[in-house]
Amino acid sequence: MKAALVISGLLCSGSAWADNVVTDQIGRTVHIPDTINRVVILQHQTLNIAVQLGEMNKVVGVLESWKKQLGANYVRLAPTLPKLPTPGDLTKVNIEDLLSLKPDVVFVTNYAPADMVKQIENAGLPVVAISLLDVPPEEAVKLNPSVKDEPAAIDSGFATGVRLIANILGDRERGEALIAATTKSRKQVADRLADIPPDQRIPVYMANPDLHTYGHGKYTGLMMQRAGASNVADSLAGFTQVTMEDVLKWNPAVIFVQERYPDLIKEIDSSPAWSTIDAVKTKKVYLMPEYAKAWGYPMPEAMALGELWMAKVLYPSRFADIDMQTEANAYYRQFYGVDYVAPAQ
């Protein structure tokens, strides 16, 4: 079921709504106050989108693990984050701390435990679950849902989720701009890679701490596919842990590591266990830039910039005319208000 927005009554002046009823991304009907001034966000994907919507002035509490999830460098884009209370995390909440913040609405992840959601609801607070994926409600509540048509489910679910967040926070126009930005370079990338047969695509492994990686059903796999890569872990479902034997058997030609895990690059490059893998031998282990968020959930900058960046890394001659600094600056100025600056290594 797609998240739907139903407004009963007439719109109030400005961005406030009259008698708002929304359907969140796990199929729950939620009554939202007509004025939203105080928001708690217990999901890093929604937090990242809220920053780009320019609505952090309404955020009064965030998830405990924001720095781990978004990366230590992210604070420059949202300087208020270290000062905000942390009344919970992805799968837990301190209800007393939450109530003390007097939020008008609480955003949670789609796989937040049902009793956690119920506890917040019973305290009289509206709870909106965000999945950024269009699947039936019984699948939407899972960390690793079953997805039949990944491109359709991800593109549709992303747009629906961004609209839901933007409408609640009061900036529909910026939400639509964010959605539009995600497809700007897609045709260009697809056209330049169209003649590469599936069996000639570069085998790629997405490394995460403790030998976790992404199989099918997550945005990371679609990101690789659109960038001309072959995900060596595609036979697996969702976000999962593998073994070193698996990685050795797959023998990826390229390894990518998300920007939030810089220590993993050092581990891969220095560990004897990884030394026989082609990607390590040829020095094709890459720390991704901040904007190339190869997360299980689709993020706007990953779709707008990350897919293009990955395609350029994998097939540099086909994208020689693309300057990623220029592309990133344009996006960051529009949605973060600053140029993109890569962190010092």
Q: What is the pLDDT of residue 212?
A: 97
Q: Looking at 15-29, 268-282, 286-300, 304-318, which range is the least confident one?
A: 15-29
Q: What is the pLDDT of residue 208?
A: 96
Of 162, 160, 172, the C-alpha closest to 135 is 160
Q: Read off the pLDDT band of 315 (50, 70, 90).
A: very high
Percent of the chain with pLDDT over 90: 91
Give the residue extent of every domain in the chain.
5-181, 186-335
Q: Read off the pLDDT band of 15 (50, 70, 90).
A: very low
Comparing 17 with 29, which gets the higher pLDDT?
Answer: 29
Q: Are residues 345 and 287 in contact, defined by beta-carbon separation less than 8 angstroms?
A: yes
Examine the pLDDT at 10 and tell me if it is beyond 50: no
Q: Read off the pLDDT band of 345 (50, 70, 90).
A: low
Examine the pLDDT at 16 and tell me if it is beyond 50: no
Rounded CA gap, 276 and 11, in Å? 63
User: Is 186-335 the same fold as 5-181?
Assistant: yes
Examine the pLDDT at 172 and tell me if it is beyond 70: yes
Q: What is the pLDDT of residue 118?
A: 97
CATH for 5-181 is 3.40.50.1980
Average pLDDT over residues 147-175: 96
Examine the pLDDT at 239 and tell me if it is beyond 70: yes
Rounded CA gap, 233 and 249, in Å? 11
Average pLDDT over residues 234-261: 96
Rounded CA gap, 220 and 224, in Å? 6
Q: List CB contacts of 209: < 8 A, sequence separation 6 or more.
A: 261, 264
pLDDT tens digits, one per residue of 100-135: 999 999 999 999 999 999 999 999 999 999 999 999
Average pLDDT over residues 295-319: 97
Mean pLDDT rounded to a whole number for the chain: 93
Q: What is the pLDDT of residue 344?
A: 66
Examine the pLDDT at 13 and tell me if it is beyond 80: no
Q: Is the full-model pTM beyond 0.75? A: yes
Average pLDDT over residues 292-296: 95
Q: Read off the pLDDT band of 343 (50, 70, 90).
A: confident
Examine the pLDDT at 297 and tell me if it is beyond 70: yes
Average pLDDT over residues 307-311: 98
Examine the pLDDT at 7 and tell me if it is beyond 70: no
Q: What is the pLDDT of residue 19?
A: 55
Token pair of 117 as six digits: 């959601």
For 12, 63, 109, 195, the CA distances from 87, given in Å and listed in that order, are 31, 7, 14, 51
Token pair of 171 as six digits: 């900036």
Percent of the chain with pLDDT over 70: 94
Q: What is the pLDDT of residue 49?
A: 98
CATH class of the domain whose range is 186-335: alpha beta
Q: What is the pLDDT of residue 12?
A: 35
Q: What is the pLDDT of residue 3?
A: 46
Q: Read off the pLDDT band of 18 (50, 70, 90).
A: very low
Q: What is the CA radius of gyration of the chain?
A: 20
CB neighbourhood size of 143 (10 A): 13
